């Protein structure tokens, strides 16, 4: 939300409980931001943005200009290459990177998103999407830099190993085991690489 107030992107969407929303409103109005509740869903208890019908969670859009709320999907600041990739995907996006042993920028690495450890807010079109790295770095500027350094370290060597509907994601100190799209063949994606360039 701060990135919208700063002009880093035109609009943003966030999930709030009704209590959090009431606390957020004065902050937004003080910054002359336009706020709209886009819909109400069942309360979230995961990092996933997949929502179910119900109540307890407000999906809230914020923008500097009212008109950007009308077309909010197009104003969230995601690179166009990644938006296009999102709409053409039909399996787990990681499976599309099968066999990738990428030297990848941690700011463009989505492999630990299952536990909320990510610096890029979306799944990039590829492990080498420069626009995603740029956005990840810009947004990381709003976070505690000690936390960013630790997340960069964790994202500097991650392996995603999937077979018949189970993926094992390995970072150095831990493993995550999760369900994914069942595939007949084992698919391994490894993203390794230190952060580079200025933040």
Which residues sit at the interface with Zn ion, rule CB under 5 A?
79, 81-82, 125, 129
CB nearer to Zn ion: give 123 or 154: 123
Q: Is the distance from CB of 97 to CB of 125 less than 8 angstroms?
A: no
User: Rounded CA gap, 163 and 45, in Å?
Assistant: 27
CB nearer to Zn ion: give 10 or 33: 10
* Beta carbon of residue 114, minimum distance to Zn ion (angstroms, whole number): 21
**CB-side neighbour CA atoms (13 Å) of 97:** 27
* Beta carbon of residue 51, minimum distance to Zn ion (angstroms, whole number): 24
Q: Is the distance from CB of 69 to CB of 11 less than 8 angstroms?
A: yes
* Element housing 59 (H / E): strand 56-63
CB nearer to Zn ion: give 117 or 129: 129
CB nearer to Zn ion: give 125 or 152: 125
CB nearer to Zn ion: give 24 or 107: 107
* Beta carbon of residue 129, minimum distance to Zn ion (angstroms, whole number): 3
* Beta carbon of residue 48, minimum distance to Zn ion (angstroms, whole number): 21
Name 58's Cβ contacts closer than 8 Å, sequence gap at least 6: 15, 16, 17, 18, 21, 37, 39, 40
User: Rounded CA gap, 157 and 191, in Å?
Assistant: 6
* Beta carbon of residue 84, minimum distance to Zn ion (angstroms, whole number): 8
């Amino acid at each position: 939300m701060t990135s919208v107030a700063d002009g880093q992107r035109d609009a943003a969407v966030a999930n709030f409980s009704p209590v959090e929303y009431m606390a957020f409103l004065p902050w937004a109005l003080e910054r002359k931001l336009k706020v709209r509740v886009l819909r109400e869903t069942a309360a979230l208890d995961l990092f996933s943005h997949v929502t179910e019908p119900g109540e307890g969670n407000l999906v809230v859009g914020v923008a500097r200009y009212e008109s950007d709320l009308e077309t909010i999907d197009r104003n969230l600041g995601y690179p166009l290459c990644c938006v296009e990739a999102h709409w053409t995907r039909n399996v787990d996006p990681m499976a599309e990177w099968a066999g990738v042993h990428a030297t990848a920028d941690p700011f463009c690495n989505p492999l630990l998103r299952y536990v909320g450890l990510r610096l890029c807010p979306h799944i990039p079109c590829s492990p080498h999407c420069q626009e995603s790295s740029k956005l990840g770095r810009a947004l990381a500027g709003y976070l505690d830099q000690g936390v960013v350094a630790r997340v960069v370290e964790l994202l500097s060597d991650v392996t995603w190993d999937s077979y018949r509907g189970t993926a094992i994601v390995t970072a150095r100190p831990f493993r995550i085991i999760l369900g994914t799209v069942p595939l007949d063949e084992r698919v391994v994606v490894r993203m390794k690489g230190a952060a580079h360039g200025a933040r």
